[in-house]
Amino acid sequence: MIHGIGVDVALAPRFEEMEESLLEKMFTEKEIINAPSSRQSEYFASRFAAKEAFAKALGTGIRGFSLLDITIEENEAGKPYFALSGRAADAAAGLKLNLSISHDGGICIAMVTAEYEK
């Protein structure tokens, strides 16, 4: 059964030449290290959209946990998934999360479904 669905859109140009100190407040060290040298603005915008969509799918908004409790990783095939820690992991306990990310022309979108585990 579905607990919630979250969708968010972010514009890549907003993440161009962003101050390192601001990136460090929104993205984990692993995400910053894994950012590709090209298309960084799309990389960060899509991950920010995914974090916002996660909060919307939970129905909580970004309350009770930090953006740094959410890491977006990719499997060997390039499919994104959540690696949660701290309070974000607690908030999502018992839920199966599905994440889809897409971007085109500087527009990045993320969709998350949160389903109750059986």
The secondary structure of residue 17, as a DSSP letter, is T
For residue 103, indicate whether it is catalytic.
Answer: yes
List 25, 30, 103, 118, catalytic entry: 103
Residues annotated in a binding site: 8, 52
Residues annotated in a binding site for Mg(2+): 8, 52
Whole-angstrom distance, CA of residue 31 vs CA of residue 23: 10
For residue 118, indicate whether it is catalytic.
Answer: no
For residue 36, give both structure tokens.
Answer: 């590709």
List 30, 56, 79, 96, catalytic entry: 56
As to burial, measured by CB atoms within 10 angstroms (0-12 exposed, 13-18 middle, 19+ buried), residue 102 is exposed
Q: Which residues are catalytic?
A: 56, 103
